[in-house]
Structure 1
Amino acid sequence: MVARTGRAQRRTEALSRERITEAAVELLDASGEGGLTFRALSERLATGPGAIYWHVANKGELLEAATDAVVAAALAEPAEAAGSPRDEIRAVALGLFTAVAEHPWLATQVSLQLSHGPTKSVPLRIFEGIGRHVGALGVPEDSWFTVASALMHYILGSAAQNASNARVAGSVVDRAEFLDEVSAAWEKLDPDDYPFTRAVARQAREHDDREQFLAGIDLILAGIHAR
């Protein structure tokens, strides 16, 4: 009995929270939130549910851990890069944009954490990752909160919308065909009711998502500089 307990303890120690979180991210990427079950996780880790529950209390905690791990990784590389405050903000923004694009479930989980309040770990990570460069831009301290919030809302909103569009396009046709359909539909709109939308129909067909996203960041940063 003592030997068996010792083996069980060693297995529990080997099965770290980090390893469980990595496996959860893999399941989420492959099958979405619905595919993340403790049974599927046990099979992937070749262990029993009890060993997982030793480290993670429930699915909600597991989702938070997975979200935190992906966001932390997205922010880690820009944090190591040397550059101007403007370049570093662009790097943080692009890192988050890419993370949301590569992990289709991430936008929903970040939004859930935001809806539960600004004290959750992921919103705090993102806000700090952006905000620590705002002062270096020359923004007056009494405007730090407003500027960092505006950047954060644009980054997360744009990244989530892009991921949503990618899912819609992927479920029907490839991206180029999807944009062709959108552009063709816009070109057929009533010119009196939708003159602007018709005018940019071709731009919608030809645009690059990342370039468009970064152009928005540059517009915000240009406004901050002008102010």
Structure 2
Amino acid sequence: MVGRLCCFSIAGILCGLAVVSASLAAGTDYWYEILNKVPAQTNDNATVPTYKYPYHVGLWLTCYDQDIPDTIPNKELISGNCVLNYDFRSKQIEDFARTSAVCIVLSCGIMLASGVLGMSGCACRRSTPLLLSGIFLYASTLVMLIGMCCFIGRILLEGEPPNIPVAADVTTRYGWSFYLGWASVGLQLLSASMMVGGNRKCSGIKDQVNFI
């Protein structure tokens, strides 16, 4: 019993943290941010308009911090100043955006299935479900990695927003939701490696393959 806890408790904790990180990343809207260094000012004599639509992007929503572009009808706004990500500039950008969202949600599902297998293996003292749990975690890591890369591809393809004047006081950056996604990738990989690597080294686990 002690051997099992030593081998798999840390892997289970890492897996749990990975699920939480991925879920928070998928459910929040701070993957990418467009910011003003200084507040936008109106000047009748200005020849160059200032950028007045700072916003942050998530997997599902784009949320505006101040003013909303005139191209977005009020009826399309949900949850305050947020609008669903649907009006993409090209089919390629939309494919990247949809793929990133699907992959990250799918990765969460695979991690949950891996957790169930891992707990079943520890409870029944069988090595096969523990090994499958580690393999599932490797699969979820790969799926999550694909999702993260697709989001980066989406941002690179989108570039600057069209028809909106951009001034020199604008900054762009990846937000904390994006970094939570990468943290989940690392946690999943560590958990999978510990699960698979420690599978045959744990005392108290019967090396049987008839669990399923």
The TM-score bracket by the shorter chain reads under 0.3
Higher share of residues assigned helix: 1
Q: TM-score, normalised to structure 1's length?
A: 0.26
Q: TM-score, normalised to structure 2's length?
A: 0.28
